[in-house]
């Protein structure tokens, strides 16, 4: 490379290009709180598969369960979240979360169609334990509101993913694929339960 | 590439790549009006009640929902002004969080409210939210400009978001109302949890 000072200029440009914003108070802002909350249900495979199963089951049951279950879940989850935030001890949280994956996976795999109220109660019971696990982390979050928004949005999006996959039930082969997804979720839940 | 072009390119790269340091996120350095206008976007506790209220207004139908555009900014203006005269009312924070839970639930239930109740709610949420935003003013803030900024962004948000939500609802398909109601349940869930957190006495901002 010819020319006076081009190599120092290149080196300087490379250095400038590596510069990132200075964050004087890392980990204390709204974005960090949201990010932590958003990643909590996604980074926990037990939460993830159970949430997808709720959406799958809703889609399998059809209207009105397809929207009642995903609307019920976050509302009841919030009650579990409050229990976790306040620090009220709830036993067997991790066990019930793993059980939720087993149970919800099985109902999808077996294509069970209980009355709507029974489906809502089953989902609501599990929602309390999932909410509790999320809520336990909330007091330590950088921004509790951001954390809450993050994990509720992530949970809702996982339900939506389940519903979208569940729309395959309109086709015969798709219905089998959805049931296979349910079986896989139940197996994953069993693995979490054992380990 | 000729050397001078290469130098220009590298200089441009060097100038464009670094971004501003963000030690003090709230201060825009564009003046107190813009500080006020941008402050509601600095936390979900400010933005969520606005969003919930706009969705609730859209669910009320255009004839009733449009009154939000008048009532909400008036509430913001009154609340922010009140914070300048009477600072330190700690219960307002809880009102604001409770509003997230309450309005979220009303949206999830797609509740049709009497006109007076809807107007009162819009004013109350505006008042609490304006007060909370106004609490961010410090001794050297131009209060008039800051309050104008908060009110202006509230008005702009109410107009644009309500238009968007209303036009979303008039489209084809019953799923649209369900989508908004699901959004309401998400907002309510956040509100319930944070309200519980606040009542536990552990939450401080």
Q: Above 70 in pLDDT, residue B132?
A: yes
Q: What is the pLDDT of residue B54?
A: 95
| Residue A52 lies inside a defined structural domain of this protein | yes
Q: For residue B121, give both structure tokens.
A: 């709610």
Percent of chain B at pLDDT exceeding 70: 90
Per-residue pLDDT band at A25 (split at 50, 70, 90) = very low
Tokens of A141: 């979050």
Contact B193 A2 (CB under 8 A): no
Q: Which pLDDT score, from 0 to 100, does residue B27 have?
A: 58
pLDDT for B28: 58
Best of B186, B200, B204 to disrupt the A interface (most A CBs within 10 Å) is B186
Whether the pLDDT of residue A106 is over 90: the answer is: yes
Which sign, positive or negative, has the C-alpha torsion B70, B72, B77, B82?
positive
Counted domains in chain A: 1
Of B44, B181, B188, which is closest to A146 when you measure between CB atoms?
Answer: B44
B59-88 pLDDT tens trace: 999 889 999 999 999 999 999 999 888 888
| pLDDT recorded at residue A29 | 56
- Kindly indicate the confidence band of residue B130, based on its pLDDT and cuts at 50, 70 and 90: very high
The answer to whether position A35 is within a domain reads no
Tell me the pLDDT of chain B averaged across its residues. 86
Rounded to a whole number, what is the distance in Å from the CA of A30 to chain B's nearest CA?
6
pLDDT at A55 over 60: yes
Cβ atoms of B14 and A13 closer than 8 Å: yes
Residue A163 contacts B, CB cutoff 8 Å: no
Residue A23 pLDDT greater than 50, yes or no? yes
Whole-number pLDDT of residue A26: 45
More confident residue, A42 or B123: B123
> Which candidate from A16, A85, A149 shows the least CB-CB separation from B190?
A149
- Nearest chain A CA: its distance from B3 CA (Å): 6
Per-residue pLDDT, averaged over B19-24, amounts to: 50
User: What does the alpha-carbon distance between residue B117 and residue B173 come to, in Å, rounded to a whole number?
Assistant: 29
Instruction: Report the residue of chain A nearest B42, measured CA to CA.
Output: A30
Q: What is the pLDDT of residue B204?
A: 52
Question: Mutating which of A20, A38, A71, A162 best tests the B interface, going by the most B Cβ atoms within 10 A?
Answer: A71
> In this predicted structure, what is the pLDDT of residue B155?
94
Residues of B at the A interface (Cβ-Cβ below 8 Å)? Answer: 3-4, 6-7, 10-11, 13-14, 17-25, 42-45, 48, 97, 105, 108, 178, 181-182, 185-186, 188-194, 196-197, 200, 202-203
pLDDT value of position A27: 47
Provide, as residue numbers in chain A, all residues whose Cβ is less than 8 Å from the Cβ of B18: 16, 19
How many Cβ atoms are within 10 Å of B86's Cβ, its own excluded?
9
Q: CB B192 to CB A79 under 8 A?
A: yes
Q: Which of residues 89-128 of A touch B (CB under 8 A)?
A: none
Lowest mean pLDDT across A119-128, B26-35, B133-142: B26-35
Number of residues that make up chain A: 195
Q: Span A82-90, mean pLDDT?
A: 85
Confidence of residue B113 (pLDDT cuts 50, 70, 90): very high
Residue A175 located in a structural domain:
yes
Structure tokens at B201: 């006495």
Q: What percent of chain A has pLDDT over 70?
A: 88
CA B68 – CA B64 distance, rounded (Å): 8
In which domain, by residue range, is A173 found? 46-194
A186 or A17, higher pLDDT: A186
In a domain, A173, yes or no: yes
pLDDT score recorded for residue A142: 67
Q: Does residue A14 belong to any structural domain of this protein?
A: no
Q: What is the pLDDT of residue B149?
A: 92
How far from B41 is each of B8, B61, B182, B190, CA to CA, in Å? Answer: 37, 27, 23, 17
Q: Work out the pLDDT band at B24, boundaries 50, 70, 90.
A: very low
Tell me whether residue A56 is in a domain.
yes
In a domain, A1, yes or no: no
Task: Decide if A12 and B14 are in contact by the 8 Å CB cutoff.
Answer: yes
Determine the residue of chain B that is closest to A159 in CA distance: B182
User: What's the rounded mean pLDDT across residues A156-173?
Assistant: 87
Contact state of A152 with B108 under an 8 Å Cβ cutoff = no
Q: Is the dihedral of CA B165, B170, B176, B182 positive or negative?
A: positive
64-93 in chain A: CB under 8 A from chain B = 67, 70-72, 74-75, 77-79, 81-82, 85-87
Q: Does the structure show a pLDDT above 60 at A173?
A: yes
> Residues B175-201: pLDDT tens digits?
888 889 988 999 999 999 888 888 877
CA distance B160 to chain A (A): 23
Question: Within an 8 Å CB–CB cutoff, is residue A164 touching chain B?
Answer: no
Residues of A in contact with B24 (CB under 8 A): 24
A18 part of a folded domain: no
In total, the C-beta contacts within 8 angstroms joining chain A to chain B are 131
What does the mean pLDDT of chain A come to?
83
HEC readout, chain B? CCHHHHHHHHHHHHHHCCCCCCCCCCCCCCCHHHHHHHHHHHCHHHHHHHHHHHHHHHHCCHHHHCCHHHHHHHHHHHHHHHHHHCCCCCHHHHHHHHHHHHHHHHHHCCCCCCHHHHHHHHHHHHHHHHHHHHCCCCCCCCHHHHHHHHHHHHHHHHHHHHHHHHHHHHCCCCHHHHHHHHHHHHHHHHHHHHHHHHHCCCCCC
Q: Is A11 on the interface with B (CB under 8 A)?
A: no
């Amino acid at each position: 490379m010819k020319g006076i000072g081009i190599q120092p200029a290149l080196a300087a440009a490379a250095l400038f290009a590596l510069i990132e914003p200075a964050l004087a108070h890392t980990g204390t802002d709204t974005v960090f709180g949201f990010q932590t909350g958003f990643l909590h249900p996604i980074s926990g495979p037990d939460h993830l598969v159970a949430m997808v199963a709720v959406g799958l089951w809703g889609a399998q049951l059809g209207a009105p369960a397809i929207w009642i279950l995903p609307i019920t879940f976050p509302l009841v989850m919030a009650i579990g979240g409050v229990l976790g935030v306040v620090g009220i001890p709830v036993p067997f949280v991790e066990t019930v979360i793993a059980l939720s994956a087993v149970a919800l996976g099985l109902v999808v795999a077996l294509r069970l169609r209980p009355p709507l109220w029974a489906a809502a109660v089953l989902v609501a019971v599990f929602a309390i334990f999932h909410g509790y696990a999320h809520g336990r982390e909330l007091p330590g979050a950088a921004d509790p509101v951001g954390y809450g928004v993050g994990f509720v949005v992530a949970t809702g999006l996982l339900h939506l993913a389940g519903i979208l996959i569940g729309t395959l039930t309109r086709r015969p082969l798709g219905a089998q694929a959805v049931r296979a997804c349910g079986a896989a979720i139940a197996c994953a839940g069993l693995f979490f339960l054992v380990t | 590439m000729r050397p001078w072009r290469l130098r220009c390119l590298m200089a441009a790269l060097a100038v464009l790549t670094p971004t501003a340091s963000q030690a003090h996120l709230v201060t825009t350095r564009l003046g107190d009006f813009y500080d006020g206008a941008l402050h509601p976007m600095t936390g979900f506790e400010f933005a969520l009640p606005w969003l919930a209220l706009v969705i609730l207004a859209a669910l009320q139908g255009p004839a009733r929902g449009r009154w939000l555009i008048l009532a909400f900014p008036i509430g913001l203006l009154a609340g922010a002004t009140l914070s300048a005269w009477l600072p330190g009312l700690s219960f307002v924070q809880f009102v604001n969080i409770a509003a997230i839970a309450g309005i979220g639930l009303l949206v999830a239930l797609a509740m049709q409210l009497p006109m007076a109740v809807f107007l009162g709610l819009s004013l109350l949420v505006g008042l609490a939210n304006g007060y909370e935003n106004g609490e961010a003013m410090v001794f050297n803030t131009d209060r008039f400009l800051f309050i104008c900024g908060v009110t202006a962004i509230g008005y702009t948000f109410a107009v644009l978001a309500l238009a968007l939500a209303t036009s979303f609802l008039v489209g084809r398909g019953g799923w649209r109302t369900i989508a908004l109601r699901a959004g309401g349940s998400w907002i309510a869930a956040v509100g319930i949890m944070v309200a519980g957190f606040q009542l536990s006495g552990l939450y401080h901002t």
